[in-house]
A and B are shown apart, each in its own frame.
Chain A
Amino acid sequence: MRDSISKPITRVDAADKLSGAACYIGDMRLEDMLYAKTLRAAEPRAKLISIEYPELPEGYFVVDKRDVPGENRVKMLIDDQPFFAEEVVNYIGEPIALIVGKDKEVINKLLEDIKVEYERLQPILCIDNITAPPIYGENDSFADYSLNKGDLQKARAGAAYVYEGIYETGYQEQFYMEPQGVIAEFKEGKVSIYGSIQCPYYVKNAVVSCLGSAPEDVRIVQAATGGAFGGKEDYPSLLAGQAACAAIKAGKPVCLLLDRNEDLEATTKRHPAKITLKSYIDESCRILGLEADIALDAGAYAGISGVVLQRAMFAAAGVYNIENLSIRGKAIATNKAVSGAFRGFGSPQAFFAIEMHMEHAAKAIGIDPLQYKLSNLVKQGDRSTTNGILRDKILLPEMVDRVLEMSGFTEKRKSFKTERAVGALKGIGLSMFFHGCGFTGNGEQDHIKAKVRLTKDIHDRVEILIANVEMGQGVQTTMRKIAAAAMELPIDSIIFANPDTDRVPDSGPTVASRTTVIVGKLVYDAALKLKEKWQAGAASEVEEQYKYPQGFEWDNDSFSGDAYTNYSWGVNAVEVELDPITYESTIKGVWTVFDIGNPIDDRLVRGQIDGGIVQGLGYASMEVMENLQGRFRQRTSTDYIIPTAMDIPEIKSELMCEPFKYGPYGAKGLGELTLVGAPIAYALAVENALSINIDTLPVRPEHLMEVAADGNGY
C-alpha cells in the first residue's frame, strides 16, 4: 500500500479546470448581484476629520462603520483591525467604506468624487528607532517573545571565535493569479459567503462576530480558488465581513472582487525581517551558542504576526545542533499594510539568516563552509531549538551527498574559480533547511482540535466532510486517495466537494503544511472506522477528532518542548551566472532533494516542489516590493515582477523518505518547505560568483554593482 499510494492518479479537479468550467468568484453571477468597490485611506497615519460623499443615484449605497451590526473588528488572535476605519487610518489602502451598486463605472465615478479630509499624524515607517507614538501597546509590538535554551554564558566563556551578522529580507507578495474576492448573499435572515479562501471557519467566525448573529445564520462556501499561498488565510475574513454588511444593507447579493492593484496595495504580504545573529564557536569549530534577535515588520494590525514570529524564532538555529540559545523576537507595528502568511511563514527569513551566517562565519574563520555546516548538523535524538527531542531519523547527510552528486557541486566550485579568474562570473550554492509541519506549539491540540466526518450513503458512496480547501495543491485528490486506499474502494466512489460550513465540521484552516499530515491522518483513521462498520446498502457516518500523540509535550509559556510533531527536510543547490557588466543573473541549474515522508502522490508532490522553488527564486532574485513613506512603489503587475517561463531552467528533484509514524501512510508536510531553501542557495551562488558576502534578500543587481565597485569583496 505504501508504494501504491504514491503512484500518481488523474487530478479530480483537472477536467473542470481544463475546460474552463471551474467557477471562480469572477465567474459567478447571482441574480440581481451588485458590485462593491473600496474607498481606501490615502494617508499612512491620520485622523479622519470628515468624509463627504457625492449624492448617490438610486440603488447605490455607501457601506461603512455605521453599517456593522456587531463588532467592527476582524476576529483574530488580537482583535484590533476594523472592517471599516473608525477615527483613524493606519495604512495607505486601509478600507474606509464600500460603494455598492449595479454599474462598475458609476461606482468608480462616485469613488473619485468622495472627499476625505485627514489630519496627518506622525507615521511609523520602519522597525528601528521608533520615535512616533506607538500604534499598538506600549512598545509598539504585537508580540515580544524570548526563548532560552541551555546557558549562553557557558557558550560565551568557551568561545574561541565569535561571529556576528545582520540579515535583512524584504516583502514578498503572494501574487496568486486570482485576486481576492467574495460574494455575500442575504436571504431569509441568513448570510451566505462564497469566497476565494483558505480557511472557511476563520471567515465564519469573523462574519458571525461582525454581524453579531447566531452561528447558524452564517454560512461560508468555498468557490474555486485560483491560488492562495497564505495570502487567503486571514484577509478574506475582512472582505467577507464587509461584503456581508453590504448585502444586508442593499438587500441584494454583493460581489467584492479586488482588482490586481488593490490586491497588491492592501492585502497581506510576507513580513520583512531584520535578524541579528551572533554565534559562539569553539576551537574545534563546534557552535557552542547562538544569540538571535528577530524583528518582523508586522504592519498596522496584529493579524497573525505573533505566530509567524514563533515559527521564525523556532527556526533561528537552522538545521544545527546548538545547545545554548537565547532568541528574542518582536513583531513591530508600523503604518503599512498588514503583513501576513505566505508559504514558509517566518521560516524563509530565519533560514536565510542562519544559512548565510554559517557560511560567513566559516569564511571568517577560514574553514570550508560546507564542512562547518555538516559538522554541526542536528541528528536523531538531539534537542530542537525549543528543547524538544528530534525523534525521527534525519537524513540530511545522505541528502547533501545526493545533491552534491546531482549538481556536480564540488567540481563546479573548483572549475568556477578558474573561470572567474578569466572574468566569467559563475557560482553555485547549497542550502539545508526543515519545516515543522502542522501548527506551531499548541495550535493543533489546544486551538484547532480538528474534526473530520465521513458519511456513507445507501449507494455505498463515501463523502469526505472537511473544511480544507483545494487551492491548487491537490487536496481534493490526495484526500480521496487516502480514504479510498484505507477502505480499499475505487477512487470514484469517494466524494469531496468544496467545503460549505453548513455541511462540514471544523477540521481547521488550510495552512501550515498541516492538511495532509494532520487532516489526512484523521481522514485515514475515520476511513478505517467506517470500513469496520461497513454494511453494504446502509447509510452511516463516522467522526474523528485530533488527539495529540502520546509522548509529545509542549509548554506554551516557556516555549519549551515539541514545537512540532514532525519535520520535513530539504537540501537545495542553485547555480547562477552573472553578467559582468549588469550583474543580472541567469539561473543555470536547480537541484533538490526533499524528505517529506512517504509522498501521497508523486506528481502532485512534484508540482508543489516546482512551484515552491520558483516562488523562492523569485523572492531571492526579482520580487522587489519597497515601501516608501508608507506607500508601496510596486502597485501594479507591471511593477511587481514574478518569474516567467524564461527565468527558470529545468529543476531536478529527488525524494528521500523517513516516514512519520502519525502521518497518513507515513506522509509529512510539504507545501511550505519547498520555498524555504531555494532563495538561500541562490544567494549563496551569487555570493560564490562574486566572492562577496550577501546578507540581504532580494539580491539586487544594482546592489551587487555597488558592492563590486566598492571592492568590498570577501
Chain B
Amino acid sequence: MKRDIEYYLRREAFPHIWCAGCGNGIVLGAILRAIDDLQWDKNEIAMISGIGCSSRITGYVDFCTMNTTHGRALPFATGIKMANPEMKVIVVMGDGDCSAIGGNHFIHAARRNIDLTAIIVNNMIYGMTGGQYSPLTPSGRFGTTAPYGNIDQSFDLVKLATAAGASYVARGTVYHIRPLISLIKKAFNKKGFSVVEIISDCPISYGKMNRMQSAPEMLKWIRDSAVSSKVWENLSEEEKKDKYVIGEFLDVEKPEYTELYAMVVERAQKLEVGK
C-alpha cells in the first residue's frame, strides 16, 4: 500500500530548521519515498546521522533515530548493526561530516563492508556553520574560509568508497528525483556497505559565496552540471571540471561483515579457540 510520506514523519518535531529552498527537504522526501516503495516496517529502521544541517533529518522521521556527534554516525551505526543485524540501518551525513571529520570512519565502514547505507548530502560546503569550505568544495570555488578561492583538491566520494571496499556506490542529485529514489532503493536493498552521494543545494551558504543567490538558480546549476557516465567518458579533463557524473558506479556481491561475524561465533563455539 502506498502511503503519504507524512506517515513516516514526526509531526511534533516540526517546523524544521532548514532554510527555504534547501535541498535537505528533497533528500528527506526521496529517502521516505524509497522506504515506502520497499514497504519497510518503521520499527525495523534505525536512522543515524552526524552533525550538520542535513544530519537534522533524523529528528524529523518516525524511526529509531540518533543524531550523534560530528563525523561519527558510521561507528554508532556499526555498533547498532552488530548488536542487532536484523535492523535496517541508514546513515545520513553532510559532505563535511562524512569526508572531513568522519573520513576515517567512512573508509573503514566501507572496508568492513558492513550492511549500512550511507547517504551523503553533498552541498559542497559546511552549511550549518555558515559556509566554510569542505573536502568536497571544488577547487577554485569560494567559502567563507576560502575567500580567495579554494586551493584544496576535492575528494571524489565515489572513487573513495569504491577503493575502500563498498558493495554499492551511486551518485544522484536533488534535481533528478525519480532516478535518485531508485538509487536509494537499490542501496537499501544491497547486503553490504552501500553509498549514495546526493549533490544538493545550499543557497544560503554555498550559493551566496558562489554567485548563485536562489534555490532555483542552484537547481538549474545542478541540472546542467550533472552528466551520465556515457557523456562523462567523452568529456575532456577541462570539460569535466565543475561537472558531476551521476548514476550507478559499483554493484558487487561480497561477504558482509555481520554475516562473517556470525561465522566467527560459530567457529569460536565449535573450537573453543586457544583453550
Say if A and B assemble together: no
Chain B positions within 8 Å of A, measured between CB atoms, are none
